[in-house]
A = this chain, B = another copy of it.
Amino acid sequence: MNEFDVIERLSGLLPPAPPEVLVPIGDDCAVLRLGGGTWAAASDMLVSGRHFKGWADPADVGYKAVAVNVSDVAAMGGTPRFVLVSGAAPDPETALGVFEGVAEACGKFGVYPLGGDTTSADALTVDVAILGEIEASPVLRSGARIGDLLAVTGELGASVAGLLALEEGMDGFERLKARHLRPRPRVEAGRAAAWLGVGAMIDLSDGLASDVRHVCERSGVGCRVDLDLLPVSDDTRELAASLGRDPGVLAATGGEDYELLVSAPEQVLRTLSETVEVPVTVVGEVTRSDMDFRRGEDVVEDLSGWDHFE
């Protein structure tokens, strides 16, 4: 049984959704109609030993816990507004460090902390629940259409490269380490994409190879992605080379980039690219069926992403 089996089994336990629920469990966020507004809701938990180790200080963990939730809201085209933060820490000083990082991220992303819970535990654990406001229509994973192009914001592989540098205790590569410890969710790009009416959107938390599969399965389509097109920075390539890793594979499978994957017609992507500050790079296209990862003309097999119980 893996994470996705658990989710599958859980779906059978759900009661009927009340009328306020526009989008139930299964997308980056659930979407609710509350009063006159549309709200996105999600939560994400970070656990010591699983999502981070001693190289992350408590403030980094608190910051990232907020940032990854902000990214979920960005992937619906929403604006992050409120968070609840629960933290379990081995001592009060660590808890305070976490909440300093939380407060810093809240300031950075314009999110207000409504409260939460603090408790003690051996393993530092932070769970953030977020509410975001959606002004345009929410962008779902299910809206990819045959003929759409697939594009990503920013760069891929920097986060996993930073993780490798941290794990290996390598000097330098500070930019990559920061990308891993303090992700930059793409709120502006997500909002713009929603206003432009892109077909589908997801944030790249599990890795492109895994996340594009979620989009394709939900949309009932296939895809072709060219690893040679993935936006990979020079320092990521340098790090990969120094460890004998393939930068394209790292970028496709590394996860935790918290960039956005967008499916839309070419013209919409061009407008998006002209509208937002972050680079938007076409990496493939939506096809009738099958997940086809290539490097130029060569098929790349066995790309897989992140399974939380693997």
Contact = CB atoms under 8 A, between A and B. Distances in A.
Most buried by B among A13, A42, A127: A127
* Copies of chain A in the complex: 2
A310 to B, nearest CB: 9
Contacts of A96: 1, 6, 9-10
A127 B86 contact: yes
A300 interface: no
Interface string A167-211: 000000000000000000000000000000000000000000000
Contacts of A88: 45, 47, 50, 125
B93 A1 contact: yes
Interface string A1-35: 11101110110011101101100111001101011
Interface in A109-154: 112-123, 125, 127, 129, 131
A35 B7 CA distance: 31
A2 B93 CA distance: 9
A119 B35 contact: no
Interface in A26-60: 26, 29-30, 32, 34-37, 39, 41-45, 47, 49-51
A95 interface: yes
A106 interface: yes
A113 B235 CA distance: 42
Interface string A70-112: 0000000000011011111001110110011001001100001
A39 B35 CA distance: 10
A91 B93 CA distance: 30
B114 A30 contact: yes
B107 A117 contact: no
A10 B99 contact: yes
A9 to B, nearest CB: 6
Most buried by B among A24, A117, A309: A117
A25 to B, nearest CB: 4
Most buried by B among A6, A17, A84, A96: A84
Given A81-B18, A86-B127, A6 B37 contact: no
A123 B121 contact: yes
Interface of A: 1-3, 5-7, 9-10, 13-15, 17-18, 20-21, 24-26, 29-30, 32, 34-37, 39, 41-45, 47, 49-51, 81-82, 84-88, 91-93, 95-96, 99-100, 103, 106-107, 112-123, 125, 127, 129, 131, 308-309
Given A10-B99, A42-B116, 6 more contacts: A15-B103, A32-B114, A41-B131, A45-B127, A47-B119, A95-B309
